[in-house]
Amino acid sequence: MIIKQTQFIKSSTTEAQCPKSTNPEFAFIGRSNVGKSSLINLITNNHKLAKVSGTPGKTQTINHFLINNQWYLVDLPGYGFAQVSKKDRGNFEQYIRAYITERKQLTCLFVLIDSRHEPQAVDVEFINWLGEQEIPFAIIFTKTDKMKPLALERNVEEYTKKLLEFWDELPPMFLSSSAHKVGRDEILDYIESIVVSSE
């Protein structure tokens, strides 16, 4: 798919504030600092579009970017961010969960996992919750430029094993590196296959 047009539409903190349009949405979620905003910038080929920071907790709102006047990329805040007070974290996670469960336009949620780590409870619990809620999702292992090929393969295998403890089927999985511009075509092809089949 060729991205001809990218347009920032708005930032929201509730599902009700999100754009009224019914165009399909592809949202990015995962732990703070995992690389959600960077990946949106890689996909759109615009390093200034979504705000990126080395400090976790940069994205605090639900951000809608309209692509080719046809579908949205949605940048979400991260979960499991320890620097936010417990109360704020509760509110924060609640509105993200509300967006995920209430948003009818949400066509696929990409769950980003840092490829450097073994399976983390917070990610596995979140993925299991998505399964229970019957939310369509795919997994993207990020920051693969920081890994040697064999270690990367081992971590992906560990994740696969962990998920198969709970689920009979695995979701689609992708590898990405925003630093080395890896994964863009595969993720865009996947989005295109869904957008085209839903037309």
Shortest Cβ 191–ligand GTP spacing (Å): 18
Which of 27, 29, 30, 37 forms a contact with Mg ion (CB under 5 A)? 37
Can residue 152 be called a binding residue for ligand GTP (CB under 6 A)? no
Give the number of residues written for the chain: 199
Q: Which is nearer to ligand GTP, 58 or 195 (CB)?
A: 58
Q: How far is the CB of 190 from Mg ion (least distance, A)?
A: 21
**What distance in Å separates the CA atoms of residue 184 and residue 199, rounded to the nearest whole number?**
22
Q: Does 178 bind ligand GTP (CB under 6 A)?
A: yes
Two structure tokens written together for 133: 């809620």
Nearer to ligand GTP, 56 or 171 (CB): 56
| Neighbouring C-beta atoms of residue 154, cutoff 10 Å | 13
With beta carbons less than 8 A apart as the criterion, state whether 72 and 9 touch.
yes
36 is an interface residue for ligand GTP by CB under 6 A: yes
Name the token pair of 69.
């006047």
Q: How do strand 62-67 and strand 6-12 relate by DSSP bridges?
A: antiparallel
Residues in contact with Mg ion by the rule CB under 5 A? 36-37, 58-59
